[in-house]
């Protein structure tokens, strides 16, 4: 497959590749220079908890969190 470099220096991945590999906007890649004129893109894995706080804050039911009474470890 062929692609082009945009006027902003961006590489555009063809839609077929994005669909096949479930690539979404905003995902990050490492660019590795293999040799002169030869490069490799490697998708970076997101951190394990990426988006967790946003997901919790978006909960439609506010006040769903109830603190659990517990003893302090100071008295042990």
Whether residue 73 lies inside any domain: the answer is: no
How confident is the model at residue 19, as a pLDDT?
92
Whether residue 68 lies inside any domain: the answer is: no
Whether residue 36 lies inside any domain: the answer is: yes
For residue 5, what are its two tokens?
């470099």
How confident is the model at residue 1, as a pLDDT?
83
Whether residue 76 lies inside any domain: the answer is: no
Is pLDDT of 34 > 90? yes
Range of the domain at 25: 1-62
How confident is the model at residue 20, as a pLDDT?
92
Q: Count structural domains, the chain.
A: 1
- Per-residue buried b or exposed e for 43-70, using 16+ beta carbons within 10 Å of the residue's own CB: eeeeeeeeeeeeeeeeeeeeeeeeeeee
């Amino acid at each position: 497959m062929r692609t082009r470099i945009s006027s902003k220096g961006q590489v555009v991945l063809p839609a077929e590749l994005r669909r096949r590999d479930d690539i979404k906007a905003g995902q990050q890649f490492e660019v590795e220079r293999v040799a002169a004129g030869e490069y490799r893109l490697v998708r970076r894995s997101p951190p394990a908890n990426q988006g967790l706080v946003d997901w919790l804050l978006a909960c439609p039911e506010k006040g769903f969190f109830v603190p659990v009474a517990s003893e302090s470890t100071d008295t042990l």
